[in-house]
Amino acid sequence: MPSEQAEAREQALAERLRSSLRGEVIDRSHPGYEEARAVWNGLIDRRPAVIARCAGTADVVEAVAAAREHRPVVSIRGGGHQVAGSAVCDDGLVIDLSHMKGVHVDPSARTARAQAGVTWGELDRETQLHGLVTPGGEISATGIAGLTLGGGLGFVMRTFGLSCDSVRSLEIVTADGTVRTASREEEPDIFWAARGGGRGLGVVTSFEFGLHPLGPEVAGVLVLHPYERAEEVLRAWRDATYTAPETVTPEILLWSVPADPAIPQELHRSHCVMVGAVYGGPPGDGATAALAPQRELGPPLMDLSGTVPYVTLQSANTWRFPDGERYFMKSHFMEDLTDEAIRTLVDWDSRRPTPESLIVIRTLGGAVARVGPDDSAFAHRSARYNVSIDAGWRDPALDEAAIGWARSAWDAMKPFSSGGTYVNFAGLGEDASELRGAVFGSHEERLERIRAAYDPEGLFAPAARRP
Ligand SMILES: Cc1cc2nc3c(=O)[nH]c(=O)nc-3n(C[C@H](O)[C@H](O)[C@H](O)COP(=O)(O)OP(=O)(O)OC[C@H]3O[C@@H](n4cnc5c(N)ncnc54)[C@H](O)[C@@H]3O)c2cc1C
């Protein structure tokens, strides 16, 4: 509990916000406090002083003004899915955008304007009415804001680029309370920084995305292979990625067979290798031929490949990451996937602490690599792969074992890393400053200069340090 003095400060901040916000102001005594402070990751247990649930940009301006006057620690909440729980802070102010859900699609201009509380499922639903997409993440419940500001790896990234590559402009409230539009022409420094280095620049209230024609049906590969052949399948998969066209975005998962009624029960929850790939164009013979090398990697356990609605694809795995369970992630970008790296991965995968835990390798290149290395703050354009080691569990008694497994597996993979790590896959306690070099590489200095220019008093400095 806060001291009397701290309590008085918190009340003054809450009163200041109540007098000026259209949205709800939630303090420790509010009946909705417990729900409002919870984020997706049940491992996170932070108790902010006040949550300012903004209803629009004017509320964000007021929340930033209140922060300038009262100087609490500030965190910003988009979809609340960052594994590290960076959307919430202890004893500070949460600027919560999760109720800002507006989406407007302009099909003739092929653009969508989306507010910062929108999730990928919500955006896809609107853009797919017009057979259009902006490349998003692979789980529909994640927020567009955090994911885009950190880069955005997804099922069609080799065809259409990272999520941040489709941003045409964004609206941001900076520390001085000014509402700015950032694009290539206006505020180009913010526009550069926000695409991959967007933590702690200010509060982004909406994004304008360029859209690409895709869907409603998309062709994809989903093949489950027996775990005994894991190394062999990984090697064959890697070789197939070398020649995959840009229309194909391959990934491979070391995971457990889902308890899906379409799959024989005796296989449920057993270790397997899952090969996935999506074709970023119309289904048909061209798609089938382009996907064939991903599909034909030896005799499978099950082949579930086919054509599905894009919105189904984007939400197919969401149920496997339920709210409130416990999670920890770490990742490496990699230039290549050597046989030794594969052996190491399979060795660590075989020690996975729970069936919910997994290792995912995503393939970059294509449109991701066509953007110049210094065109945006995202610092990993030349990486061929990202490997993420994702621990998931329910029982708090497993906290140490699960986090320990992910950390040790990550350490074991370090010799094969490009040295880069993905900000969006950083877990609890990963907010140490040494992470920054690995995340931003040679862009770190320019990012610091931009942050200092727009936030000289460091209002968002804690938010910038968190992943
Ligand atoms: C189940 C799951 C699947 C995922 N799959 C993918 C994937 O396929 N591809 C991928 O690239 N990533 C993926 N991620 C990682 C994801 O990109 C990050 O968790 C991302 O931060 C989520 O964004 P959010 O808005 O939900 O998060 P939040 O926790 O709300 O925010 C994350 C960070 O961004 C900051 N932030 C949020 N909104 C704003 C804003 N409006 N203005 C300024 N700063 C803001 C926050 O302060 C925080 O530091 C996945 C995560 C999970 C949990």
Quote the pLDDT of residue 426: 87
Q: Is residue 84 part of a domain?
A: yes
Residue indicated by tokens 């986090």: 403
What angle do helix axes 285-295 and 230-242 make, rounded to 10 degrees? 140
With the most atoms of ligand 1 within 8 angstroms of its CB, the residue from 51, 60, 76, 320 to mutate is 76
Domain finish residue from 195, 213, 231: 213
| Dihedral (Cα; 165, 416, 146, 257), 10-degree rounding | 110
If asked whether residues 315 and 198 sit together in one domain, one would say no
On the question of pLDDT at 64 being above 90, the answer is: yes
Q: Are 91 and 8 contained in the same domain? A: yes
Q: Is residue 462's pLDDT more than 90?
A: no
Mean predicted confidence (pLDDT) in 18-23: 98
Nearest to 60 by CA among 205, 160, 236: 205
Q: Do 326 and 343 reside in the same domain of the chain?
A: yes
pLDDT reported for residue 434: 66
DSSP state letter for 49? S
Residue % of the chain over a pLDDT of 70: 99
Domain, as residue range, for 197: 103-213
Sheet with 50-53: strands ordered across = 25-27, 50-53, 93-96, 74-77
Q: What's the CA gap between 463 and 451, in Å, rounded?
A: 11
- Please say if the pLDDT value at position 301 is more than 80: yes
User: Is 369 a domain residue?
Assistant: yes
Residue 465 has pLDDT above 90, yes or no: no
* Closest ligand 1 atom to Cα of 97: 41
Residue 389 in any domain: the answer is yes
Report how far ligand 1's centroid is from the alpha carbon of 15 (Å). Answer: 30
Give the number of other CB atoms < 10 A from CB of residue 344: 17
For the segment 132-137, the average pLDDT, to the nearest whole number, is 98
pLDDT attached to residue 435: 80
Which residues 6+ apart lie within 8 Å of 372 measured at CB?
381
Other beta carbons within 10 angstroms of residue 107's beta carbon come to 13
* Residue 264 pLDDT: 87
Q: What is the mean pLDDT of residues 315-342?
A: 95
Are 192 and 317 contained in the same domain? no
* Whether the predicted pLDDT of 245 surpasses 80: yes
Say yes or no: 328 and 308 in one domain.
yes
Count of the separate structural domains present in the chain:
3
122-149 mean pLDDT: 97
pLDDT at 259: 86
**Beta-carbon contacts of residue 113 (< 8 Å; ≥ 6 apart):** 102, 103, 104, 106, 206, 207, 208, 209
Phi, psi (degrees; rounded to nearest 5) at 170: -145, 155
DSSP state of 374: T
What is the 463 CA–ligand 1 centroid distance (Å)?
13
The CATH number for 77's domain is 3.30.43.10
Q: How high is the pLDDT of residue 45?
A: 97
Nearest Cα residue to atom 13 of ligand 1: 137
How far apart (Å, rounded) are the C-alpha atoms in residues 86 and 81?
A: 9
Cβ neighbours of residue 434 closer than 8 Å, sequence gap 6 or more: none
Q: Which residues line ligand 1 (CB under 6 A)?
A: 40, 75-83, 86-87, 97, 116, 137-139, 142-143, 145-147, 149-150, 152-154, 199, 203-204, 321, 424-425, 463, 466
Q: For the chain, give the mean pLDDT.
A: 95
Judge whether 452 lies within some domain.
no
Task: Quote the ligand 1 centre to 80 CA distance (angstroms).
Answer: 7
The answer as to whether 449 is a domain residue is no
Instruction: Give the pLDDT band of residue 84 (cuts 50, 70, 90).
Output: very high
Are 235 and 361 within one domain?
Answer: yes
Residues 261 and 386 in one domain: yes
Residue 428: what pLDDT?
67
Compute the average pLDDT of residues 80-104: 97
The average pLDDT across 165-183 equals: 98
Domain boundary (154, 187, 213) is at: 213
239 in helix, strand or coil?
helix
> Could you say which DSSP state residue 373 is in?
T
- Domain shared by 162 and 270, yes or no: no
* Residues 255 and 398 occupy one common structural domain: yes
Question: Is residue 408 scored above 70 in pLDDT?
Answer: yes
β-strand pairing of 50-53 with 93-96: parallel
Summarize the confidence of residues 274-281 as an average pLDDT.
98
Predicted pLDDT of residue 433? 64
The whole-number pLDDT of residue 3 equals 85
Q: Which of 33, 67, 96 is the last residue of a domain?
A: 96
455 in any annotated domain: no
pLDDT for 2 beyond 80: no
Instruction: Mark whether 90 and 111 lie in a shared domain.
Output: no
pLDDT at position 38 is: 98
Q: How far is CA 174 from the centre of its chain?
A: 23
Mutate to test the pocket of ligand 1, among 147, 321, 325 (most ligand atoms within 8 A of CB): 147
Those residues whose C-beta lies under 8 Å from the C-beta of residue 48, and which sit 6 or more positions away, are 37, 75, 88, 89, 90, 91, 92, 93, 94
On whether both 221 and 370 belong to a single domain, the answer is yes
Q: What is the CATH number of the domain that holds 108?
A: 3.30.465.10
For residue 4, report the phi and psi dihedrals to the nearest 5 degrees.
-60, -40
Residue 126 covered by a domain: yes
Could you tell me if 196 and 133 lie in one domain? yes
Cis ω on the peptide bond leading into residue 216 (within 30° of 0)?
yes
Asked if residue 1 has pLDDT above 70, the reply is: no
Q: Is residue 457 part of a domain?
A: no
